Structure 1
């Protein structure tokens, strides 16, 4: 087979394969404009004059879930947790690589172990511990997410820091910079591709997470969007599918826009962090 044709064949294959991931999103969007009765009976059919209800599902979903309050708390948790993870883990990864002693290697191994341990093993202890420390609020959840998000972030950051020449830091020391100034003025700007990559991955996880906020937050006062969606379930297992579809579309819009705007940085950051092992 002609080598010039292979890229087009693979492009076509993966384009078709991507439809398997895009189709559920399109299906939710289509059904968000249909009456809830017709969603169950004809979920795969485009809205018709009979089934089309306009923005009714969106209005009902926003009112039923107090959507904008939940949106605000999701935003606070996502931005605060992601910022804390990026700051702490980037500094930690730099220290681990530059120290390179027994304690640093043991600390790095503990972060890798964090990636292996299933969440179900610690969920009950975590719930008890957060209640004990009064962390059942969005700001206390920042610390909880820092613990769970540190493993992947440190893993990516350490791979990137290994590729940064030590001569840059030596030059900063000669110019009179201390460790803190060296990190923020020299190392962190160079780490920008890795920071963006980790930020994208963490934000997508934080925004869509359901279980951790459900276990730790005081649900009488704070609800994230995934938790608020569950309140559309009625008695005896009944679900207002129309309102749920509308709220799901509203919940997907910010994270889809964010991902599309920043996706080109993911591969760049991962490849840059894999230069040295």
Structure 2
């Protein structure tokens, strides 16, 4: 006795919709990943093929681009540039996370004279173009003797100058019930104790979000690092990549693309390591209980 399952018209419509949805997602993914695939393929092409072959796949794989790029130029290897970027990005992550967290706690949970005015002034700095401050900041740091050192790129972050991250944490802390603060006060906690035992553990998703964006933005930053870091051995990865185009009056495009591929690895690893907490920070809008 054979049994046959009837296929309803609604099932066909649902199956067709799923196929169309997956096809659209695959098309979008292909469009998004094409530049990355092209970058990786171009990093394996010979310099003459880079200009003549616009496809993703190289005709002749040239692994020497990676070794030539890693050797750097004028005696400085690319490992030095990676180390400089890692030190600046790591210090920026710590400075932004700590300073912005403390400033956000003051704005979100403490009461003091002029709190609304100071918060409004801080938010207004988001409307100020960064390029307007470059000349006075450069003159100030030059007087301090900080030019050609990482200090101009790190020290301002210790002072909670990133208004975006302060605003992000303030909004996150405002979603934490104030009943937790009152309960901590009943148990004898001071404002410092409330910050350390209540606010800090609950703001971990916001801290991770700040850390991820601070690392990515600092690692990819170009103009400030170009302005303040003049010596070759002080340069970071973005500035060093530009050096392949004019070092010695010649261009090594293949090595530049190869090092560009390697420069994406730290950003990718950092994001993958903390992406779960980043998603948690985006989805968290309040607390239950």
- Say whether residues 1:61 and 2:69 are aligned partners: yes
| Change in 2 beyond 3 A, CA 1:11/1:174 | farther
| Change in 2 beyond 3 A, CA 1:212/1:274 | farther
Within 5 Å, which residues of 2 pair with 1:60-79? 60-65=68-73, 66-79=77-90
Aligned-partner Cα distance in 2 for 1:118–1:205: 16
Of 99, 104, 109 in structure 1, the residue corresponding to residue 110 of structure 2 is: 99
What CA RMSD, in Å, does the superposition of the two structures yield over aligned residues?
A: 2.7
Aligned-partner Cα distance in 2 for 1:25–1:174: 55
Residue 35 of structure 1: how far off its partner (Å)? 0.9
- Say whether residues 1:117 and 2:128 are aligned partners: yes
| Change in 2 beyond 3 A, CA 1:199/1:42 | same
| Conserved 8 A contact 1:86-1:198 | yes
Within 5 Å, which residues of 2 pair with 1:1-277? 12-48=23-59, 51-54=60-63, 56-65=64-73, 66-99=77-110, 103-136=114-147, 137-146=149-158, 150-234=162-246, 238-272=250-284
Structure 1: runs of 5 or more not aligned: none
| Change in 2 beyond 3 A, CA 1:4/1:146 | farther
| Change in 2 beyond 3 A, CA 1:178/1:219 | farther
Aligned-partner Cα distance in 2 for 1:23–1:87: 38
Residue 224 of structure 1: how far off its partner (Å)? 0.7
What's the TM-score once normalised by structure 2's chain length? 0.83
Count of aligned pairs between the two proteins: 272
Aligned-partner Cα distance in 2 for 1:6–1:147: 53
| Conserved 8 A contact 2:107-2:119 | yes
Residue 238 of structure 1: how far off its partner (Å)? 4.6
> 3-state DSSP class of the match of 1:263?
helix
| Change in 2 beyond 3 A, CA 1:15/1:197 | farther
Residue 265 of structure 1: how far off its partner (Å)? 3.0
Which of structure 1's runs of 4+ aligned residues deviate more than 6 A?
Answer: 1-8
Aligned-partner Cα distance in 1 for 2:101–2:14: 42
Residue 73 of structure 1: how far off its partner (Å)? 1.1
Structure 2: runs of 5 or more not aligned: 1-9
| Change in 2 beyond 3 A, CA 1:207/1:148 | farther
Residue 8 of structure 1: how far off its partner (Å)? 7.1
| Conserved 8 A contact 1:90-1:154 | yes
| Change in 2 beyond 3 A, CA 1:100/1:228 | same
Instruction: Answer with 113-122 or 97-106: which moved more.
Output: 97-106
Aligned-partner Cα distance in 2 for 1:184–1:11: 47
Aligned-partner Cα distance in 2 for 1:36–1:174: 70
Aligned-partner Cα distance in 2 for 1:163–1:9: 39
Q: Can you list the C-alpha shifts for 1:195-234, whole angstroms capped at 9, x where unaligned? A: 1112111111011101111122343441111011111113
Aligned-partner Cα distance in 2 for 1:7–1:159: 38
